[in-house]
Amino acid sequence: MDFKVVKFGGSSLANAEMIKKAEAIVRSDPRRKYVVVSAPGKRFSGDTKVTDLLYACYEAAAEGREFEPILAEIRSRYDEIVEGLGAKLDLDAEFQTIRAHLRSKPQRDYMASRGEYLSARVIACYLGFEFVDAADFICFNSDGTFDWEITNRAVFAALRRVKRAVVPGFYGADEWGTVHTFSRGGSDITGSILARALSAAVYENWTDVSGMLMADPRVVADPRTIALITYKELRELAYMGATVMHEDAVFPVRKCGIPINIRNTNRPEDPGTMIVPAVEEEKDQGEITGIAGRSGFSTITIEKAMMNSEIGFGRRVLSVLEEHGISYEYMPSGVDTMSIVVSTIDLDPCRNQVMNEICHTVQPDVIYFEDNMAMIAVVGRGMVRRKGIAARALTAVAEAGINIRMIDQGSSELNIIIGVEEKERENAIRAIYAEFAK
Ligand code: ADP
Ligand code: ASP
Ligand code: MG
């Protein structure tokens, strides 16, 4: 029998009522054998995620402040869940261990990981599945980087004989047993790693929306669901702010073509979004697949007469960024100008040095930095075949009275990037959505 790896996000496990919905989903299909869980998320708007409470608790302890009230709040979140589920589980010993850790030499990643750890303990007990700790097979190097290949073998060895398991997402450990986490939202990655290592038929990712939507539902009211999307498109959209799925979660399953199905825990009857390696042309309907946008970018614009004939110009500019550990996002250029889009957070600590070193290295006529930029990505595999998509997206933005600061079209013709001022990000997304959702 083929089987599924299923991951439930924090919003799907925020309280006992939500966990019961997740239980019904797991029990309704015997192929749902491996369950990856997040820490409890927000129960209502304005609530705090358990992971955020854990970070706050760590910070208090690390700075020598009182951490007990925050720890008590975390404890009460789990007590409420255990009680609501009627689970037979005493978390006293677990919280004693956490308290002892906080009193000795607290570690940030270890503390953050306890959210998923405790969630998995409780849910495994409630479902009657085996609890298997991710620290035993999600393998990090001691510098915090993740080791894909060792992990792949370790997951297979640890889980292939386990009939039904609940596994905490988000973290793993190095060979010394030190816990490391992925970046925020990283339980999506754990699910994908398990799906690949165990050769699941599908990786189901259960969340609080009915799939990947054409635009962020917090920006566009009631956006359409994307029924079918390729890994590449998902990665583009996730990277550019469609946070429904961690941008790195596609890599493990992509290696062996396992589809991802994003589903809604509150509406299990909805088919959600299927994320697949490729889509046959005839099944392609939409003109674009989706729109996403992110703020926090700066551009470095350089002008110099005859730039185009100066061999090595671009390399010398980029080597300055490389020396400061800055990776660039986009680089639209003209004959005598080039703009480099970078993340403002990366640029800030070394802004002046970068400016001076570029001036010294390539002696530009003009160089200037612009901050508070947002990048909007219009993504769609169908753009290669259809004419006029870029023109329509740009016209929609311009007609909404928004000044376009930069345009970049990826060479694969999978996306068009439009740079606007941060304050126009949402308006630009709405204008493009209105044009293509007509
Ligand atoms: P989980 O707790 O299940 O991991 P997340 O909060 O990480 O869920 O992701 C789901 C959220 O992603 C949605 O509630 C929605 O607000 C947000 N989101 C942003 N862009 C999109 C998009 N294009 N499609 C769907 N959801 C999106
Ligand atoms: N709990 C972690 C976070 O909030 C990981 C996750 O939910 O995927 O980022
Ligand atoms: Mg998430």
Contact 205, 262 (CB under 8 A): yes
pLDDT for 140-157, tens place per residue? 999 999 999 899 999 999
Q: Which regions of the chain carry the CATH code 3.40.1160.10?
A: 4-209+244-254
Tokens describing residue 162: 């386990």
Beta-bridged to residue 407, according to DSSP, are 418
Ligand 1 in contact with 249 (CB < 6 A)?
A: no
Q: What is the pLDDT of residue 96?
A: 97
Q: What is the pLDDT of residue 91?
A: 96
pLDDT tens per residue, range 230-288: 999 999 999 999 999 998 999 999 989 999 999 999 999 999 999 999 988 766 667 89
Q: What gap in Å lies between CA 299 and CA 369, rounded to an integer?
A: 6
User: Do residues 241 and 294 touch, judged by C-beta distance below 8 A?
Assistant: yes
Cα(435)–Cα(428) distance, integer angstroms:
11
CATH topology (fold) of 4-209+244-254: Carbamate kinase (3.40.1160)
Which residue is closest in CA terms to ligand 2's atom 5?
A: 185
Q: Give the pLDDT band (50/70/90) at residue 384.
A: confident
Prediction pTM value: 0.92
The pLDDT assigned to 282 comes to 61
Within the chain, all domains assigned CATH 3.30.2130.10 are found at 290-436
The widest CA-to-CA distance across the chain, in whole angstroms, is: 75
From the CA of 12, which ligand is nearest?
Answer: 1
If pLDDT is split at 50, 70 and 90, which confidence band does 8 have? Answer: very high
Which helix (H) or strand (E) segment is 276 a member of?
strand 273-276
213 in contact with ligand 1, CB cutoff 6 A: yes
Q: How confident is the model at residue 30 (pLDDT cuts 50, 70, 90)?
A: very high
The predicted pLDDT at position 15 comes to 98
The rounded Å distance from CA 18 to ligand 1 centre is 17
Model pLDDT for residues 146-194, shown as the tens digit of each residue = 999 899 999 999 999 999 999 999 999 999 999 999 999 999 999 999 9
Regarding the beta carbon of 191 and ligand 1, being less than 6 Å apart is answered: no
Q: What is the mean pLDDT of residues 380-405?
A: 91
pLDDT of residue 386: 80
Residue 385 C-alpha to ligand 2 middle, in angstroms? 38
Q: How many helices (H) and strands (E) does the chain have?
A: 14, 16
pLDDT of residue 383: 84
Residues with CB under 5 A from ligand 3 (ion): 9, 185
Note whether 137 and 172 are within 8 A (CB). yes
The CATH homologous superfamily for domain 290-436 is: VC0802-like (3.30.2130.10)
* Closest residue by Cα to residue 92 from 112, 118, 67, 69: 118
Distance from C-alpha of 182 to C-alpha of 135, rounded to nearest angstrom: 12
Whose alpha carbon is nearest atom 6 of ligand 2?
Answer: 185
pLDDT digits (tens, 9 = 90+) for 276-333: 999 887 666 678 999 999 999 999 999 999 998 889 999 999 999 999 999 999 998 8
- Here the tokens at position 222 are 């009631």
